[in-house]
Structure 1
Amino acid sequence: MRVVQIQEFGGPEVLKAVEAQAPEPGPGQVSINVAYVGVNFADIKARGEGYRVPSLPFVPGLEVSGRIRAVGDGVTDLAVGQPVAALTAGGAYAEVLVVDAATVFATLDGIDLRTAATLPTVLPTAHALLHEVGRLCDGETVLVQGAAGGVGTVLGQLAKASGAGQVYGVVSGAAKAEYALKYGYDEVFVGDFADEVRAATGGRGVDLALDPVGGETFQRSLGALAPFGRLISFGNASAAEPWRLGQQELFNGAVSIAGFSILTLAKTAPDTLREIAARAFRMVADGSVHLPITAEFPLTEAAEAHRLMEARSSTGKLLLRVAD
C-alpha cells in the first residue's frame, strides 16, 4: 500500500509517498480501506515542528473515511465493509489505516464518504466548544477566531442553530470575511477586532469567545469578554509562548477560561467523545450544519495541500482523495 510519511521535519517537500505493508488490526482495533483523509493544521505542525510526533518516520493525518477492512478480537459493533469515519493520533495519510475501534464512527444515512472525512475532528470539536465546554445559552453572543476555516465555518452555523444571539467572526483578510458571512456569522472582522467587538455589542463584550490562535489574539479575546464571559482555547496556531495570567485578570469581569483538545479527549475519555460525535453528526445528517470542502488533492499530492493551508489562504475543509 502507499503511505505519505515524514522522514525529517521541514517544509511540505519532506512529505514522501512510499510503499509499505498493509497493517493488521490487533485486539480492540479495526483496519480501514481509506477513501478520503481530512487535512488539519495539526498536520502542518507535525511536519514542520514535530507536534505530537513520537518518532520518525511518521505518517501524519488525524481523520479518515472509508470502509472496514478487518476487525480485531473483541470488536463486535463494527463489520467488514461498513462505511465509517475515524479519528486517530496519526497514520491517516495511507491507503490502509489501523485505529482503535473506540474512535471509529459509523456513518449516518445521508452522509457519503467524502463528507464523512470532514467530520471526526471538526464536528465534535465545534459541538464541544459551544456546548460541553462553552455551555452556550439561548441569546448569548459568540466570538470565533479563524471564522473561515474548517472549525470556524461549522461554529458559525452550529452557534446559530443552537440559539445564539449575535455571532461574530475574525479572519485575516477581506476575501475570508466575505466567505465566512455565508456560514452563520452576523459580522466578520478583519485583523484587529477589539474595538469592533465592543462597538458591535454596545460596549458590553461577548459571552463566549473561541480561540485557536493563542498569543496576543488570546489576550485580546479575553479583553473582549462580557461580565461572566467564557474564553476557550483550542489551539496555538500562532506558535506563541503560552500566556500566563493570574487572579486579577479573571477577577476583572468575573470571567472564566477553559481549554479543549479533541485528541486528548479521544485518549482519556473515548466514550464521551463518541457521545459528542453522535450528537454532532446528527446535525450534519439533518442538514442543520454543512461543512464546505474547498479543495481536494490525490494522496500523493499531500505536499500541495500543505502548501495551500500553510499560506493561510484556504477556507473550509481540505481533503486528500485516496479511493472513491
Structure 2
Amino acid sequence: MRAIVITEHGGPEVLRSTEVPEPEPGPGQVAVEVAWAGVNFADTLARANGYRVRELPFRPGLEISGRVRAVGAGVTDLVVGQEVAAFLDGGGYAEVVVAPAATVFALPAEVDLRTGATLPSVLPTAYGLLHEAARIREGDTVLVQGAAGGVGTVAGQLARAGGASAVYGVVSSLDKAEHALKSGYDAVFAEDAFDADVLEATGGRGVDIALDSVGGETFTRTLAVLARFGRLVSFGNAGGAEPWQVGPEQTYPKALSVGGFSILGLAAADPARLREIVHRSFDAAAEGGLELPVSAEFALADAADAHRLMESRTSIGKLLLRVRD
C-alpha cells in the first residue's frame, strides 16, 4: 500500500509517497481502508521539528475516515464494511491504518465519509475546549483565536449553540473575516489590534472565555482582555514562542482561571473520556446542523502541497487528503 513517510525533519518536500507493508489489526485494534485524511497544524509541526514524533521514519496524520477492513480479537462494536472516523497518534496519511478500537467511531448515517474526515480531532477539540475546560454557561461572551481555521470554525458555532451571548474571533488577515462571520461570530478582528477591539466591543468589560492556540505575545494579550472570573484555555503554540507562564499577579486581581487542553494528550491518557467527548460532540453537531467547510482537497501523493498551503496561513476551514474514492 501507499503511505506518506518522513525519514528526516524539514520542509514539505520531506513528505514522500512510499510503498509500505499493509498493517493487520492486533487484539483490540481495527484496520480501516482510508477514504479521506484530515490535515492538521500538528502534522506540519511533526514534519518540521518532530512534535510528538518518537522516532523516524514517521507517518503523519491524526484523523481519517473510511470503512472497516478487519477487526482484531475482542472488538465487538465495529464490523467489516462499516463507515467510521478515527483519531490517530500519527499514521493517517496512508491507504490502510490500524487504530485502537477506542478511538474509532461509527459515523452517523447522515454524515458522509468526506465530512467524517473533518470531525475526529477538530470537533472534539472545540467541544472539549468550550464544554469541559472552559465550562461555557448561558450568556458567556467568548473570544477565539484562529477563528477561520478548523477548530475556530467549529468553536464559533458550538459557542453560539452553547448559549454564548456574543462570540468574537481573531484572524491573521481580514481576508478571512467573511468565512469566520459565517461560523457564529458576531465580530471578527485582525490580530494586530484585537485586544483594543475586544475591549471596545464589550464596553471595557472583556470576555468570559478565551481560547488561544497561538501562544507567546498573543496569549498575554488575550489574558489581558478577560473579564472578572474569566477563563482562558490554551490549546497550542502556533507562534513557536517559549511556553507561557502565569502567576498570581496576573490571575488574583480579577480571579482569572488559566488552563490547557490537548486532544492528543487526552487520547493517550484517557481514551474512554475521549470517546465520551467525541460522542457528545457528534451529537451536538448533528443537532445543531454544524458545518466545517472543506476549503481544499489534495491527492495523497500531494500531501506536501497541503502542508505548504497550511503553513502559508492563507487557508480557511479544513484541508483534506483524498486517499480513495
State the one-letter code of the partner of 1:89: D
Partner of 1:10: 10
1:259 maps to 260
Is 1:218 aligned with 2:219? yes
1:193 aligned residue: 194
Unaligned runs of 5+ in 1: none
Comparing 128-137 with 283-292, greater Cα deviation is found at 283-292
Structure 1 segments of 4+ aligned residues over 3 angstroms from their partners: none
Q: Deviations over 1:131-161 (max 9, x none)?
A: 1111111111000000000000001111111
The 8 Å contact of residues 161 and 288 in structure 1, kept in 2 or not, is answered as: no
Q: Partner residue of 2:77?
A: 77
| 1:128 equivalent in alignment to 2:128 | yes
Measured after TM superposition, the shift of residue 268 of structure 1 is 1.1
Work out the CA distance in 2 between the residues paired with 1:95 and 1:211.
Answer: 33
Contact map agreement 2:161 2:288 (CA 8 A) in 1: no
CA contact (8 A) 1:173 1:190 kept: yes
8 Å CA contact retained: 1:32, 1:97: yes
Q: Which amino acid aligns with 1:313?
A: T
1:268-287 residue pairs with structure 2 within 5 A?
A: 268-287=269-288
For residue 230 of structure 1, report the CA deviation from its aligned partner.
Answer: 0.2
Find the residue that maps to 2:129 and give its secondary structure. helix
How big is the alpha-carbon RMSD for the aligned residues of Structure 1 and Structure 2?
Answer: 0.8
The more displaced of 106-115 and 244-253 is 244-253
The match for 1:164 is 164
* Cα drift, residue 287 of structure 1: 4.6
Partner letter of residue 146 of structure 1?
A: G
Q: Percent identity between the aligned chains?
A: 64
Please list, as runs of the form range in 1=range in 2, the aligned pairs for 1:1-80 lying within 5 A after superposition.
1-80=1-80
Q: CA deviation at 1:279?
A: 1.2
Aligned to 1:316: 317
Contact 1:141 1:167 in 2 (8 A): yes
- Name the amino acid aligned to 1:317: K
1:98 equivalent to 2:98? Answer yes
Structure 2 residue runs of 5 or longer lacking an equivalent are none
2:31 aligns to what SS in structure 1? strand
Matches of 2:106 and 2:75 in 1, distance apart? 13
- Of the structure 1 ranges 193-202 and 284-293, higher mean CA displacement relative to structure 2 is found in 284-293
8 Å contact 1:158–1:288 — kept in the other structure? no
Amino acid at match of 1:315: I
Residues of 1 paired with 2:298 and 2:317: CA distance? Answer: 14
Cross-structure match for 1:141: 141
Partner secondary structure for residue 319 of structure 2: strand
| 8 Å CA contact 1:65, 1:114 repeated in 2 | yes
> Secondary structure at the residue paired with 1:264?
helix
Measured in 2, the distance between the counterparts of 1:166 and 1:285 equals: 22
Match of 1:279, SS state, is helix
Question: TM-score scaled by structure 2?
Answer: 0.98
- 1:211-248 deviation per Cα after TM superposition (whole angstroms, max 9, x unaligned): 00101100011001000000000001011001212111
What is the alpha-carbon distance in structure 2 between the residues aligned to residue 175 and residue 220 of structure 1?
A: 22
Deviations 1:25-75 (A, max 9, x none): 111101100000000000000000000111111000000000011111111
Counterpart amino acid of residue 136 in structure 1: I
Cα deviation for residue 285 of structure 1 reads 2.6
| Cα distance between partner residues in 2 of 1:300 and 1:166 | 42
TM-score by length of 1: 0.99
